[in-house]
């Protein structure tokens, strides 16, 4: 009766987890995994020369934005980023954490260096994200396009005059760079960048003045243009996402692969009154953010730039229609441009959902609390390596009772292993009777062959989530542990940690009861060995976490075996 009751409770628990998982998927803007409901109502609106679709929302007008195909493209027809005959000046603005490179053609951001983060391949140089070189294109552009009325307005191709300080002075909290266009199509655009000490967020004000005698209803666009190449130094042994992302309050975080954009099969919410567009890669991101409540249309599409740049680039854009500007009046729109590391606390403070560019995948619900616990431990210990060790220790304590059940079950399996081996040899010519006899032994000895598996299976999502926390956290980058480990985000230069991890993995395998089936016994050794080989190329922080977990697991298993009167023994492999 107790077994039936436990089975019913486990079924209820499992079904509840399925329901929670399904709702979590929907909450994060993904399709339901198990219970597909009715699709959201979608309406189609023709605007300009394109067709837009958006989830039904009475707050979003049916025709608010220009078709993305009519937006200006990259704006480069020469290798140096300028159009023929258009004067252009490039200069650098420096703060305590950033070097930003601007182009007076359109007041465009064409370069960014992070002074507190070393380059992936050369730590003596600052890390470059935005770039406009022969090998890399990654730009932040903005401008004005026409709405209901035809005509050309100031865009990121328009020549502008620049003014303002170029270096953040000692004692100053911020500086401003001002770009002003001539009158183009009846609009004069003044674009003002405000950079702040210690911040990777840039306030960007767009002031539009109507110089005509009639009202004008323009549209503001903000876009990121990037080539489709992976970042330099990307590992071939694990994969991280590189590409654009869209966030809206309705559909949450939606990342899109470059390949889907190229095939025109990308799925994301097109219209909203909230959210941002971003370009994401391992550890770093950039994003354009409009004020909440301002209607905008998002678009992700491939663009051809020409002029010696990579064959195909990709654009993530937002277009926001503005209210009609009266003759002689000025309309200002305050936006934010973020370019920097994926530090969760900073991102959360800038905009709703911006912290999601630090992508933990489907285990975000577990990964976020693990990250905050790791961050708290670092605040106490002041060393990321020892903080990893402390966090794994706390997790092992939290799961002690589950592990105790698993290792107790393994100890029982070891105790009956001689009986099973003798029986298999005796009945090797009668498989059916062998199976019956094996079940009888398990029943009499009160051994559950799966008893050691389920408690460990429950913990797997937690440790996978911790894996993603350590892989995604920019805090690990250039962070020393001790001795020869001076960068927890890079592989061990002398392979000491991977070797220790391999030895502890094999030791843990040897302590487990050998499966009665010879083929399973061989697989028990091949799989850990193959798994360990990959870790020779993994970041040191990940290897350290796995070593700590292995050592604590071995210690607990050893202790439980002794308490149960089953002397620890090593089941060495036999490959006969």
**Cα–Cα dist 102/92, whole Å:** 6
Q: Would you state the pLDDT for residue 314?
A: 96
In a domain, 367, yes or no: no
In a domain, 43, yes or no: no
Q: Would you state the pLDDT for residue 9?
A: 38
Give me the DSSP letters along 393-452.
HHHHHHTHHHHHHHHHHHHHHHHHHHHHHHHHHHTTT-HHHHHHHHHHHHHHTT--TTTT
**Cα–Cα dist 513/407, whole Å:** 10
Q: Residues 20, 24, 26, 32: is their CA dihedral positive or negative?
A: negative
Q: What is the DSSP letter of 158?
A: S
Residue in 565, 513, 446 with CA at minimum distance from that of residue 2:
446
Question: Contact, 468 vs 460, CB < 8 A?
Answer: no
CATH number (domain holding residue 235): 2.70.98.90
Last residue of a domain, one of 324, 354, 384: 354
In a domain, 38, yes or no: no
Same domain? 381 vs 348: no
Q: How far from 519 is each of 336, 516, 523, CA to CA, in Å?
A: 60, 9, 6
Residue in 547, 532, 505 with CA at minimum distance from that of residue 389:
547
Query: In a structure prediction context, what are the per-residue pLDDT tens digits for the chain, which is 576 residues long?
Result: 333 333 333 344 444 444 454 555 444 444 444 343 333 333 323 223 333 333 333 333 332 344 454 577 654 333 333 444 557 899 999 999 999 999 999 999 999 999 999 998 888 899 999 999 988 999 999 999 986 555 689 999 999 999 999 999 999 999 999 999 999 999 999 999 999 999 999 999 999 999 999 999 999 999 999 999 999 888 777 888 999 999 999 999 999 999 999 999 999 999 999 999 999 999 999 999 999 999 999 999 999 876 555 557 999 999 999 999 999 999 999 999 999 999 999 999 999 999 999 988 888 899 999 999 999 999 999 999 999 999 999 998 988 887 777 767 766 776 677 777 778 778 877 888 888 887 887 777 777 665 556 566 777 888 889 999 999 999 999 999 999 999 999 999 999 999 999 999 888 888 776 665 666 666 777 777 777 888 898 999 999 999 999 999 899 888 877 877 766 666 665 555
Question: Contact, 204 vs 298, CB < 8 A?
Answer: no
**Cα–Cα dist 279/339, whole Å:** 10
**In 3-state terms, what secondary structure has residue 271?**
strand
Same domain? 393 vs 509: yes
In a domain, 193, yes or no: yes
Q: Which domain holds residue 343?
A: 90-354
* Number of domains composing the chain: 2
Same domain? 150 vs 241: yes
Same domain? 242 vs 320: yes
Same domain? 283 vs 380: no
In a domain, 19, yes or no: no
In a domain, 68, yes or no: no
Last residue of a domain, one of 354, 385, 400: 354
In a domain, 79, yes or no: no
Same domain? 310 vs 448: no
In a domain, 54, yes or no: no
Compute CA 391 distance to the chain's CA centroid, rounded to the nearest angstrom.
Answer: 21
Same domain? 329 vs 427: no
Question: Contact, 388 vs 422, CB < 8 A?
Answer: no
Query: Token match 């960068």: residue?
Result: 487
**Cα–Cα dist 26/36, whole Å:** 10
């Amino acid at each position: 009766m107790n077994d039936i009751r436990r089975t019913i409770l486990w079924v209820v628990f499992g079904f509840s987890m399925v329901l929670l998982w399904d709702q979590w998927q929907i909450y994060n803007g993904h399709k339901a995994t198990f219970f597909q409901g009715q699709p959201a109502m979608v309406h189609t609106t023709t605007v300009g020369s394109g067709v837009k679709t958006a989830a039904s929302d009475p707050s979003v007008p049916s025709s608010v934005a220009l078709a993305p195909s009519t937006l200006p493209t990259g704006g480069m027809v020469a290798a140096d980023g300028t159009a023929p005959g258009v004067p252009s000046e490039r200069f650098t603005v420096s703060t305590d954490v950033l070097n930003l490179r601007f182009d007076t053609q359109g007041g465009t951001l064409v370069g960014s260096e992070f002074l507190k983060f070393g380059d992936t391949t050369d730590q003596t140089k600052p890390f470059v994200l935005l770039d406009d070189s022969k090998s890399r294109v990654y730009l932040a552009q903005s401008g004005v396009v026409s709405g209901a009325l035809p005509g050309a307005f100031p865009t990121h191709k328009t020549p502008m005059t620049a003014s303002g300080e170029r270096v953040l002075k000692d004692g100053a909290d911020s500086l401003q760079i001002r770009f002003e266009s001539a009158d183009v199509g009846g609009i004069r655009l003044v674009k003002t960048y405000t950079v702040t000490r210690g911040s990777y967020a840039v306030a960007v004000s767009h002031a539009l003045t109507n110089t005509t005698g009639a009202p004008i209803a323009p549209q503001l666009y903000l876009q990121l243009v990037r080539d489709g190449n992976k970042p330099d130094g990307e590992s071939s042994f694990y994969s991280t996402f590189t590409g654009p992302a869209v966030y809206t309050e309705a559909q949450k975080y939606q990342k899109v692969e470059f390949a889907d954009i190229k095939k025109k099969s990308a799925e994301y919410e097109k219209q909203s009154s909230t959210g941002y567009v971003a370009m994401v890669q391992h550890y770093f991101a950039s994003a354009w953010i409009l004020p909440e409540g301002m209607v905008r249309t998002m678009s992700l599409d491939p663009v051809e730039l020409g002029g010696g740049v990579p064959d195909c680039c990709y654009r993530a854009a937002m277009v926001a229609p503005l209210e009609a500007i009266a003759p002689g009046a000025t309309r200002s729109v305050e936006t934010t441009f973020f370019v920097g590391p994926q530090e969760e606390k900073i991102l959360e403070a800038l905009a709703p959902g911006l912290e999601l560019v630090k992508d933990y995948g489907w285990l975000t619900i577990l990964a976020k609390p693990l990250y905050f616990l790791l961050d708290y431990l670092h605040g106490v210990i002041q060393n990321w390596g020892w903080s990893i060790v402390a966090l794994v220790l706390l997790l092992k304590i939290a799961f002690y009772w589950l592990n105790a059940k698993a290792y107790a079950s393994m100890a029982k399996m070891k105790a009956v292993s001689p009986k099973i081996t003798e029986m298999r040899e005796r009945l090797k010519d009668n498989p059916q009777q062998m199976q019956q006899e094996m079940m009888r032994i398990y029943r009499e000895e009160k051994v559950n062959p799966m008893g050691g598996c389920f408690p460990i299976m429950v913990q797997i999502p937690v440790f996978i989530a911790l894996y993603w926390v350590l892989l995604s956290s920019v805090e690990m980058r250039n962070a020393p542990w001790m001795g020869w480990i001076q960068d927890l985000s890079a592989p061990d230069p002398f392979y000491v940690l991977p070797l220790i991890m391999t030895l502890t993995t094999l030791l843990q395998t040897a302590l487990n009861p050998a499966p009665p089936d010879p083929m399973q016994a061989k697989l028990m050794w091949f799989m850990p060995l193959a798994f360990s080989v990959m870790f020779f190329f993994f970041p040191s922080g990940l290897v350290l976490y796995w070593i700590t977990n292995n050592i604590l697991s071995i210690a607990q298993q050893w202790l439980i075996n002794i308490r149960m009167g089953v002397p620890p023994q090593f089941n060495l492999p036999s490959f006969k």
